[in-house]
Structures are given as structure tokens and as C-alpha cells.
A and B are shown apart, each in its own frame.
Chain A
Amino acid sequence: MTLRRPDLSQPLMLLVAALLVLMIVLPMGWLVVYSFSDKAGNPTLENFVRLFTDPDFLDPLITTLIIAFSTSAACCVVAAPLGWLVARTDMPLARTFRVLVMASLVTPPFVGAIAWEMLAAPNSGLLNQLWRAVTGAPSDEALFDIYTLTGLIFTIACYTFPYVFILVANSLDRMPGELEDASSMLGAGTWTTARRITIPLAMPTLLAGALIAFLQALNTFGSPAILAIPAGFHTLTTKIWSLFEFPPKVELAAASSLPLLVLTIVLLRVQLLVLGRRGYAVLGGKYGAPRLIRLGKWRIPVATAAMLVLSLPLFLPYAALLNTAFSPVSSQLVTPATFTLRNFYFTFTELSSTMPALKNTLILAALSATLGGLLALLISYIVARQAIRGWKVLGFLATAPLAIPGIVLGVGLFLAYTRPPLTLYGTIWILLIAFITIELPAAYQQFRSAFHAVHPELEEAGRMLGATRLRTLWDITGPLLRASVVATWCFVFVGVIRELSAAVILFTSETKVVAVLIFDLKESGDVGAIAVLSLTIVAITTVVIVIASRLSIGRDAVRLRTIAGG
């Protein structure tokens, strides 16, 4: 040991910790402080008294809970049977179905809400027009009204059920087929086996899915902002947002944010408990692939019904968006005679805010993906190899934002950085911090599992041959992780492009992003431009995801798997 390099790990640790404090601890700290303060900054409980007594706040709170419960229930009812059909039966087009569910998952919920406005607004909605044309109903009658509580729940559920579906389908995929085979061998028929073995085993996952759906509905901002406000009611998130209108009532906003924060933290703990018990992944041994249940003559009807379900989050909304984008009047179906590119021309050349917003969005997405990815990589390495003391704290902080709803983080960052010494509000940096913080847990967990697959011995072998820790990271771990790095980068990039709830609190006219621009255009009623911008977001998202899966899933993932397995 003649050439001992200076130990950089301690300063590095401090740097990472400081960053996490700036991103998470400080905003949440100010949030709590403000919620217990009055306008003059004196301690008080008045904010909470108002929150739970004033109907202006109590009604949104109750509405939000109704929405969360109903969405969660609706998602389970739809997603669980679909997950089972796709994973455990010989339903045709099962693979296509999974891809399409992913497609509805990457659709930003506020885009979906806007599309459903085009479809089911009482007067101009395409579906209502169709209904009137078919039945001859008078022009003031409507089949659907999307501006209702039911309409809102329906729309939120459309873009929440994919989470439940994916959880259920994945869990059924991983459930060893032999557990069902063993039941068959003992004389149980298909349905007895499903009832006694498959469903009980899938139950924890379904419960976890229900909780996730609940949380999504609880914390969503886009859909209620688009559908509830015209309908004349508020959810907690839109209420918080409205408190930032002049004159801003930040103390009340902070107080209203706390229930969301606390409820989210509690439910995430519950979810961990639910998934933690009686895990079947722990039982060792080699398992065979499950046998698929034959649907027989039901194959075609079942597949058709499944595809019909997908028309709600996917086919119908995209048809409406495309129609609006290429049509001179959004409430009329486009024909070859009326087909126009006018909306595209308007959006990209005449609308002065498009290009700055697009530029902001892409720069923020790329920066968040790069810097956030690096931060996540660093933390996950430190945690995976327990490289320095205090690694547990870092791991905890990296996952903590999972429990912070976007709009709550927005409020916290607003409170923390509209004041010296760090006056970031009004700059693009406050948005960068928000996006990195929001995406950090997902990126971190992605890298955690990737490091899990690269056995430490692979690194140790490199170090035995004389390479430093950093050198082995570069030569061995890095190349093995390339697939995960690419996937995570794209994941964060896509996440940022579609983020609305924190951005809507933190943007200023100079730092508008596309999601906010779409939301703004709602006020001026430029539906053509809204459709074009929505499709632009979806197009960018799709391209990034396709590139990511081409680059990473194909080759590297297979390589990593063989190494992990062998």
C-alpha cells in the first residue's frame, strides 16, 4: 500500500446527503412550519380548524376520499379479471393486450381527461352527438356528462387501472404453476383450484394494487382540474392549487397538503405490510411455467370484451384527439373535405408560447434524467455495497419522495425557495429540483434491483486483480448496468414530460413546460392546439420508450440475466 489515494467517500456522502436535504427535508420542513403558522408567522392551529370545519375545505376533502375509494374499487373490478385472463388463460392477443395497457399507462392522465371532454361533454361531446343522431333526441339531452363526479371517477380510473392490471398480471406470471398443478393432482378441478389456491395467493397483490389506485386517485391533479372545476366542485389537490391564486394563502395550502402527505405515508406502510406477509417468492426450488386455462368457445368473446374495455382509456380518446387535431372544428368529425393541418401550423408557428415551452420541457427532462439518474446510481451503489457509514439514511431519503404527492412537493418547494438564501422560484432550477425529487425513488429502485443482479463477487474479482473501486465500477459494473441506465434515463425523461401537478404550482411565465401550457390553453379554449400538443407529448414519450426498449431490453438484459443466473 504505497500509493493510497485520498478517501473521497466521506465528502461524497456529505454532498449526497446535503442534496437530499435541499430536495426533501427542507421543503417538507417548511410545509409543516407554515401549516402551523398564521399570516404573521405566529404558531397557530387555526389552519387545521378551518380545514376540518369550513365547508370550502371539508367538501373537497370528502369528495377526494369518495373519488379515491370509488376509483380503487373500479380499478380492482376491471383490472383483476383482465390480469387473470392475460396471465392464466389462452385468450388470443394477450401479448398485444399487455402492450396496449402499457400504452394507456404512458398516456398523461390530463391528456386523457381532455380527450374525454371531447368525447363526452354534454353538448359538444362526440359520443353525445352520435347518440342524438342515432336516437333523434333533442339537442339539450345528453347520454354522458363527463363534468360530474361519476365522470371524473371514470376518467381517473381509466388511467389508474393499468397499475393494478400490471401488478396482478405480473404476480400471476411469477406465481409458480406447480402450486396449481399440486392442487390438480390432489383431485381439485379448475375452479376449485382457482378459488382455493390462485385467488388467495393473488390477494395480497390485489390489495396492494387497490392501495396504489387509491393513492393515485387521492393525489391526482390533472383530471380534476380539467373536469371538476367546470362542474363546480373541488378536490383537495385543485383546492390547494386554487389557494395560490392572488392573493395566495400559502398557510392554508400547506395545511391542506398535510392530510395528503400523512395519508400517503400511512397507506404506503400498509401496502408494505400487506405484501410482506406469506410471500410465496421465498420458497425455493425450480418452478415450471403455469399451464394456461383453456377458454374454448369463449376465446373470441372474451378477447373482444377485453379490447372493448381498452377502447375507454385508449382507442376512443386517441380517436377524439386525432379528430380534433386534424379538424377545423373540434366538435365535428373530420372528413377528407375538412381535413386540415391548420392546427399544427398554428401551434408550432403562430402560438408564441409553444417553442419556449417545448424547449423548457426537453431541457428539463434531459437534465432531470441525467442528473437524477446519476444521483440515483450513486445512492443505490452506496446502499447496495454498503460502501460508507450512513448508507441506510441515504436509502431512506431516496425512497421518501414516493410518499410525497407531486402537488405537496410543489407547495413545499414553493415555500422553501421563495425566500433567501436560495431564491429559486421563478427559475428553471426549482422545476429541476421538483422533477428530480419526484422521479428519484423510481430511478433508485430500478438501480437497486440492477445492483442486486450484479453479484458483488464480480466486482471483488476485479479488485483482486488490482483495480480500484471506481475502476471496477467503470470496467465491470457499469457495462453490466448499461441496460438499466438506459431504461432509467428514459423512464425519468418520460416521467418529467408528463408531470403537471408540481409544475403547475412552481411555473412562472418564463418557465412554462408543455404540460402547463396545455393546461393554460384550456382557459383560452384552443382545443386544436391542445390536441396537437397532447399528441406531441405522447409522440415524444412513445419514441423514447421504443428507443429504450430497442437499446436495452434486447441485448443487454439477456446478457445480464445469463450472468445473474449462471
Chain B
Amino acid sequence: MASVELKGLGKRYGATVAVDNVSLRIEHGQLVCLLGPSGCGKTTTLRLIAGFMEPSAGEIVVGGKSLSTVKRTVPPEGRNMSMIFQSYALWPHMTVAENVAYGLRIRKMDAATIAAKLKAILSTTRLEALAERYPGELSGGQQQRVSLARALVVEPETLLLDEPLSNLDTNLREEMRFEIRRLHDQYRYTTVYVTHDQAEAMTTADLIAVMNKGRIEQLGTPQDIYDRPRSAFVARFIGGSNILGGKAVDGERIAVGGATLRTTGRPLTVGETVAVSIRQHDIELLTAAPVGGDNVLHATVRRGVFLGAARDYTVMLDDKSELRATVSADLDVTVGQDVWLRLPAAKCRALMEGPEA
């Protein structure tokens, strides 16, 4: 059993803090995505786990053994982990077969075992026909599969992936997402997957840790993160969300744009400034003022874009703030027209911090 545990992990470069007090427990066989924009500290966290860097604070424990502390770091070669690099890092002077078998040779296995394992993994990753080619003669997707095969064949306790799909074109990227998930389900290694692409994280991960400024902003299942963002950063980063700012008038309602909105997510304190997120496609657009009903805001259409399957409207509220709403393609409204927005209370998430966070 190899769970991976990060305890108060930190990495500083002089005055810059790359990773700040990150704590995370990854159970055996789980696939966790570290998701965030570039510079959020996700790759540094991964390289700390790999042992390429020493932490400046905290500890990394894998399978009950402490691998990294401020004082002592087990080198990468002593960790029984595998890593898939953004550049694939295939050795250009070795064939596909030599690349894949390298880790087995390092482990001093006998020739028969190596041949058997090699054959099995090349067949799993559909690379048998390419075994004698050099990396320079392969397409991007094939190189990616070689790097997967090379990492998996040594049966690591832990698998690390660093933006593995960012060098592939869109179609191939979608295919490889499912491929990675399929291979994970087959082998069930404890896996840490770094990406800045939320769709990639959604399709592959058991758990997503959204990172920002060196910290984990929110940890949860893909659905958790999507449906119940806790901060404005997470709400904006995962799917398109509108963020509305208002003042709490009671335990669950805020005043915004001359109306009141009922929210969910957390109890409010009267008078506090609250940021509320609502997804673009959760907003209902009405061309006539509804009779009664809660959570309705008046607005004017500023811009409409026909997207084929839907229409995307930018509207301005009475307090001059702008919202975007994605609605049915049948609903055609001209610019300048008055509209009414219905924001379902269950979809209005009150976030943890102020509107600008």
C-alpha cells in the first residue's frame, strides 16, 4: 500500500514562495489532479514529490516512509516512482524497446522477464509495431504512449504526470485522456497528475486539488469542485462563472443591482460583503417581467453571439455590472432590449472571500 502524504509542504526561492504549506493525502490507487494556472506551484509540488528538489518546509511520506524532509531527501532513483514528463523525455539514442526496457534493466531483471514484460506493456499501449523505431521517427501521440509504457512497465508505487498532454493537438488530447484513465483503472497506481486544463482534470481525476499562489485552494471530487466552488478563484477557473458582489441582508439573501438574491453555500452575516458565483448556463433569460418570483434581476442586453447550439448574451445590470448568460439558441433578443434574469437560488453559491479575490 503506497499512499502519498504531503504534510505542510513548502518551497521557497529566496523571497519567492513557490509552494506554501500544502497538505494533501492521496490514498493508494487514487488519481489526484493538481489543477491551476501556470505559476501556481503545481509543477514544483510534483518535482518535490519526485525528489528533484528539497522542500524548505514540511514532509513527504509515501507508504509510511518519510522520503523528503527539510534535512533529508531520498534521491529520485531511490523512490520507486515513475514520471511522465511534459516533453516525454524519450532518449533519442535508444529505440522504443530500449527506452521502455531501460527501467527493467536498471532493476537487473533477467532477459526472459524483461522480454515478457516488454511484450505485455507494448501490447497494452499498442506499440508492438513500433518497437524498433527511434523516438525521432514517431508522432507526438506515439511518443506519448512510449513515455507511458516506459513509466508503467516498472510497476511503480507512485506515478507522476507533468502536463502530459500539453504537447498534443486537441483530438489526440481527448483520446489520450481516456487512455490515461483506462491504464490507471487497469493498474491502479497512486497517481499525481499535474495540469492546467480543467477538462483534462475532470475526465481523469478521482480528486482535484485546485492550486493558486502556491496553496491548495480547494480539494474535492470533480463534481464537488464544479458544483460547489468555495472561492471566486475556483469558480472562475472551473467552467465559466459569473461573480456578483453584494451586501448580506439576512442569513441567506444579499442585495445586488437593486434586488435581493437568495443564495446557498454558507450562512451569511448581516452587512458583510459577499461574492456569489453563478454559472452562465444556469441563468434563465426572460423577455417580459415575471409576475412575482424570487431572484429576478432587471438588465439590458449589450451583446449577443450565436454559437450554433446556444446563444451567449452579455447583459448589464442596473448597477452597471455585466453578466454573461448562455441560453437556448431559440431565444433571440436584440441588443438594447430589456430582459429579466432568473438566478435559481440553488445555483447562487456564496463564496468564502470578497468579490475581487
Which chain A residues have a beta carbon within 8 Å of chain B's beta carbons? 176, 178-179, 181-189, 192, 196-197, 200-201, 278-280, 282-287, 291
Contacts and interface: CB of A to CB of B under 8 A. Distances in A.
B135 interface: yes
A181 B134 contact: no
Given A182-B150, A186-B103, A287-B87, 18 more contacts: A178-B85, A179-B89, A181-B83, A181-B85, A181-B89, A183-B102, A185-B50, A185-B160, A186-B154, A201-B92, A201-B93, A279-B136, A282-B92, A283-B92, A286-B86, A286-B87, A286-B167, A291-B52
Contacts of A188: 77, 102, 106
B241 to A, nearest CB: 30
B75 interface: yes
9 contacts: A178-B85, A178-B87, A181-B52, A185-B50, A187-B80, A187-B107, A188-B77, A280-B93, A284-B167
B140 interface: yes
Contacts of B81: 185
Contacts of B141: none
Contacts of A196: 102
A68 B117 CA distance: 49
Nearest to A179: B89
B146 to A, nearest CB: 11
A286 B81 CA distance: 22
B82 A185 contact: yes
Interface in B154-183: 154, 160, 167
A182 B92 contact: no
Interface SS of chain A: helix, strand, loop or mixed? loop
Interface string B92-127: 110000000011001100000000000000000000
B220 interface: no
Contacts of A176: 87, 89
Contacts of A278: 92-93, 134, 136
Contact of A189 (B77, B83, B92): B77
Nearest to B103: A186
A184 B91 contact: no
B13 to A, nearest CB: 13
B296 interface: no
A185 B87 contact: no
B91 A179 contact: yes
B90 interface: yes
Contacts of A291: 52
A433 B125 CA distance: 61
Nearest to A189: B77
Nearest to B76: A184
B87 A181 contact: no
A356 to B, nearest CB: 55
Contacts of B76: 181, 184-185
Contacts of A186: 77, 82, 102-103, 106, 150, 154
A187 B85 contact: no
A278 B82 CA distance: 25
A182 B85 contact: yes
B233 interface: no
A107 B170 CA distance: 54
A466 B151 CA distance: 55
A291 B76 CA distance: 12
Nearest to A186: B103
B189 interface: no
Contacts of A285: 85-88, 167
A280 B134 CA distance: 11
Contacts of B134: 278
A509 B109 CA distance: 75
B86 A187 contact: no
A181 B79 CA distance: 13
A279 to B, nearest CB: 7
Q: Ordered nearest first, which 10 A-B pairs have the shortest CB separation? A: A285-B87, A186-B103, A178-B89, A184-B76, A182-B89, A280-B92, A185-B83, A187-B106, A178-B85, A184-B77
Contacts of A280: 92-93
B135 A283 contact: yes
B83 A283 contact: no
A185 B88 CA distance: 13
Interface in B57-78: 75-78
Nearest to A197: B91
B215 to A, nearest CB: 23
B75 A184 contact: yes
A275 to B, nearest CB: 13
Given A181-B52, A185-B83, A278-B93, A283 B106 contact: no
Contacts of B75: 184, 189
Interface in B197-239: none
A202 to B, nearest CB: 10
A200 B95 CA distance: 13
Nearest to B53: A291
A179 B80 CA distance: 18
A129 B89 CA distance: 56
Contacts of B102: 183, 186, 188, 196
